A and B are shown apart, each in its own frame.
Chain A
Amino acid sequence: QSALTQPPSASGSPGQSVTISCSGTSSDIGGYNYVSWYQRHPGKAPKLMIYDVTKRPSGVPDRFSGSKSGNTASLTISGLQAEDEADYYCSSYAYRNSYPNAIIVFGGGTKVTVL
């Protein structure tokens, strides 16, 4: 069971928007602005799409945006395109009361389907 909770699937038609949620706790998402999102196509390595909740690495289209409210982060893909069909994983820095304290946690992943 993953530390962060994501819906297993999401879908949308080309041109539409889709939003993926990622739920955590005050010890991870809610406590720090270190939420990141990864895209993974089958057989390929994950690709960083969003970091620090809202920032996009160079080369990532601005159709991808991130946000956070309380203990829940979200990834929105606007203007959905066929190549956006992939698995998406959220991740967060987390601080635990027991050693080891500083860790990184992932969500279980959301499969985005472009209809």
Chain B
Amino acid sequence: QLQLQESGPGLVKPSETLSLTCSVSGASTSRSNFYWGWIRQAPGKGLEWIASIHYGGKTFYNPSLKSRVSMSIDTSKNHFSLNLGSVTAADTADYYCAREDSETSDNAFDIWGQGTMVTVSS
């Protein structure tokens, strides 16, 4: 059974880079029909898609975050990562990693990690 698990620091200082990793078990990150994404939810706000990546290198970014975001994937370690630079308090949120399966539910996230809370504060 496919499972996702986020990991990373729970506290990041303003102006620094937030780095998160999503470890995938139960399936390969190099499956051609899988896309891997990051979504966040700030306190009192709705869900916000951050970015998605395919193992072949294709990456999609939220235009409002594109200048600060990068995603990478390491199929040998079966995980993918998110870097968000120049963070501010507005980046404080629960961060989720998730999967899209283009063969079944394209452009929808059918498997989610449990989420990790990240606070931006000095």
Contact = CB atoms under 8 A, between A and B. Distances in A.
* Interface class of chain A by DSSP: strand
Interface in B62-77: 62-63, 66
Given A34-B106, A52-B108, A106 B46 contact: yes
A109 B48 CA distance: 11
Query: Main secondary structure on chain B at its contact with chain A?
Result: strand
Contact of B47 (A32, A46, A55, A103): A46
Interface string A81-115: 00000000101110010101011111111000000
A56 to B, nearest CB: 10
Interface of A: 2, 32, 34, 36, 38, 40, 45-48, 51-52, 55, 57, 89, 91-93, 96, 98, 100, 102-109
A103 B65 CA distance: 12
Interface residues of B, number: 24
A38 B106 contact: no
Nearest to A34: B107
